[in-house]
Amino acid sequence: MTKKNAISLCDLEKDQNALIVAIIAGHKSAKRLADLGLTPNTPIKILRKTIFCGPMEVQVRGMNLVLGKGVAAKVLVKKS
């Protein structure tokens, strides 16, 4: 999988499904997200978003997670 045609999680709409391509973050944040199950090749679904692409609620590996705007921007995904 390439990072070229990947988009940021922020660009997805409510109810869309995607596959995580990469996480563009430092060692610590990447590890923290990985511990929560956000790793490359994992399916992710947007459950809801607040206005201004604020935090969003996503579903990963059967768990509901809230991600702030800044984190969501670091998660690169590919629509599926």
Partner 1 sequence: MITPKINIALAGSANVGKSVVFNHLTGLHQHIGNWPGKTVEKAEGTLHYKGYTIDVLDLPGIRSLSTYSLEELITREYLISNQSDFIINVIDSTKLETNLIFTLQLLELEKPFVLALNMADLLKKNGITLDSKKLAAILGVPVTLVSAIYGKGLAESLDQGISSLHKKTKPRILKYGKEVEERIEQLEQVLQNIPLIYPTRFAAIKLLEKDEEIEKHLKTAHPEILEKAKILNLELEKIHGHSSSVVIADERCLLAAHVAKQVMTITKPQKISFNERLDHLTGHKILGYPVMLAVLSVMFITVFKGGAYASSLLEQLLPIMQTTFYGIFGNTLTTTLIFSSISSIFALISLAIPYIAPFYFLLFILEDLGYLARVAYLMDNLMHKVGIHGKACLPLILGFGCNVPACLSCRIMETQRERFLTGLLTVFVPCSAVTVVVAGLTGRFLGLKFAFGLYLLVFLIIFIIGKIAARIVPGEPTELIMEMPSYKLPNIKTIALHTWFKLKEFIYIAGPVVIISGIIIEGANSVGLLTPISNFLSPITSAWLGLPPATGILLILGILRKELILVMLASILGTENFAAVLTNAQILVLSLVSMLYIPCSATIAALYKEFGWKKALLITVLKISLAIIVGGLVFRAFNFLQ
Nearer to partner 1, 7 or 24 (CB): 24
**Least Å distance between CB 7 and partner 1?**
18
Can residue 36 be called a binding residue for partner 1 (CB under 8 A)?
yes
* Interface size with partner 1, residues (CB under 8 A): 36
Beta-carbon contacts of 20 under 8 Å, excluding residues fewer than 6 positions away, are 38, 39, 40, 41, 42, 43, 44, 75, 76, 77
Decide if residue 30 touches partner 1 (CB under 8 A): yes
Beta strands, E only, the chain: 7-8, 17-23, 43-49, 56-60, 63-67, 75-79
Name the residues that contact partner 1, by CB under 8 A.
Answer: 22-23, 27-28, 30-37, 39-42, 47-52, 54-55, 57, 61-71
